[in-house]
Amino acid sequence: MSTELILTNARIVLEDDVIHGAVLIRDGLIADISDTPSATGEDMDGDYLLPGLVELHTDHLESHYSPRPGVRWDKTAAIQAHDAQVVTSGITTVFDCLRMGSDEDGGFEKGEMRAMADALAQAERDDRLRAEHLIHLRCEVSTENVLEHFEEFEDDPKVRLVSLMDHAPGQRQFQSMDQYTLYYKTKRGLSDEAFAEFCERQQALSARYAKPHRDAIAARCAARAITIASHDDATLEHVEELLGYGTRLAEFPTSLHAAKASHGAGMSVLMGAPNIVRGKSHSGNIAARDLADIGVLDVLSSDYVPFSLMHAPFILADEIEAISLPQAVAMVSATPARTVGLQDRGRIAAGLRGDLVRVRRPNGVPVVRSVWRQGRRVA
């Protein structure tokens, strides 16, 4: 039996325009878009209708599972809490980050992330989830056991994105020892001697493991057609190295020239939406606004604040003359979807999934009023 849903009297945000009209969803797919409001259907009262947001990089599930150091929460409860916050932020497709590789600075034991992925799969089978959840493996290539963790996901079809990270001192995000000292010495309460020993161990691990692990993981991703992301690139050498692996996504470049080189080479440059909302990076690196100003910002990620993915596009459209609302919304919908090969979503267009978000914005912070995933209301 065919099902239909009409959403009318809406300001519909297309990829290149905003029109006042109606959208018809039939059997979970967008069947028609009209630039004239319909006489029938659910009245959107002039609110915006956006495509469902596509989130490529969020650590938010991890914070629900491990809300305090040493604490592990019930996995199903953590997943449901995460899913609820994601969907009410307008996100209908989310790539949950699972960390591969553990060391003395943290991470999870072998088997923990596999168990989390299994719990996600069971939650989907039980119809507990409102967003579609896919997996992003964050591979800390300088850890000794990253390949052991990665091997537990060898045949998992939910793995669609893998990022190659190295957080050792002097690498990428922490080019400056001032930043590394603030983040690690202060955070861990280390003495000068203990911190020096910690840095030496991390640098030795990076020198020994980073390249062979990066090579091995990239080869396995290529064999399975999994999108590869770089992480925290700082130099042109970093960009050139990752291009050799077929990288399609440049996550959080830490310098302007690395961002320009990545964008110029055809990679999608991703920055944090919290960076846009706050106006600066929490770790002292380049501001996402600076990349938006020069046209090399392609994708936004909520990172650690899910609602920032809805908030940031409106800020960009308000504050940067060269960026329209459709262009800003594409950074959280169409472009991330294309980057990871999801051709069936991310835009309000005939034939695509009926993933839609009703948003009211009287002023300032937008309000998510309703969310549909494949034509089914989920919030």
Strands (E), the chain: 4-13, 18-26, 29-34, 42-43, 48-51, 53-58, 91-100, 132-140, 159-165, 227-231, 249-251, 268-272, 299-301, 356-360, 367-373, 376-377
Closest CA to 338 of 242, 257, 252, 266: 266
Which helix or strand (DSSP H or E) is residue 335 part of?
Answer: helix 334-339
What confidence category does residue 119 fall into, taking pLDDT thresholds of 50, 70 and 90? Answer: very high
Domain that holds residue 356: 1-51+345-379
User: What pLDDT score was predicted for residue 282?
Assistant: 58
Q: Are residues 26 and 62 in the same domain?
A: no
Whichever domain contains 3, its CATH number is 2.30.40.10
**41 and 127: one domain?**
no
Phi, psi (rounded to 5 degrees) for 229: -120, 140
Claim to verify: residue 146 and residue 7 sit in the same structural domain: no
Assign 192 a pLDDT band (cuts: 50, 70, 90). Answer: confident
Q: For residues 66 and 169, state if they share a domain.
A: yes
Hey, what amino acid is at 100? Answer: M
Residues 333-353: tens digit of each pLDDT = 999 999 999 999 999 999 999
Three-class secondary structure of residue 22 per DSSP: strand
Tens digits of residue pLDDT in 44-61: 999 999 999 999 999 899
One domain for residues 2 and 88? no
pLDDT score at 147: 96
Least confident range of 85-94, 234-243, 307-316: 234-243
**Rounded to whole angstroms, how far apart are CA atoms 82 and 70?**
19
Please check whether residues 200 and 110 belong to one and the same domain.
yes
Instruction: Read off the pLDDT of each residue in 206-213 and give the average, rounded to a whole number.
Output: 90
**Reported confidence tier of residue 102, pLDDT bands at 50, 70, 90:** confident
- Tokens linked to 10: 């809406």
Q: What is the DSSP letter of 228?
A: E
User: Residue 202's pLDDT is what?
Assistant: 79
Please compute the mean of the pLDDT values over residues 181-204 and round it to a whole number: 73
Question: How many CB atoms lie under 10 A from the CB of residue 240?
Answer: 12
pLDDT surpasses 90 at 205: no
Asked if residue 244 and residue 132 are part of one domain, the reply reads yes
How many Å apart are CA 269 and CA 185, to the nearest integer?
30
**pLDDT tens profile 359-378:** 999 889 999 999 999 999 99
In the chain, the percentage of residues whose pLDDT exceeds 90 is 76
CATH code (residue 104): 3.20.20.140
Percent of the chain with pLDDT over 70: 92
Residue 327's pLDDT is: 98
On whether both 61 and 129 belong to a single domain, the answer is yes
Q: Residue 266: pLDDT band by 50, 70, 90 thresholds? A: very high
- pLDDT band of 1, cuts 50, 70, 90: confident
| Residue whose C-alpha is closest to residue 154's, from 126, 140, 135 | 135
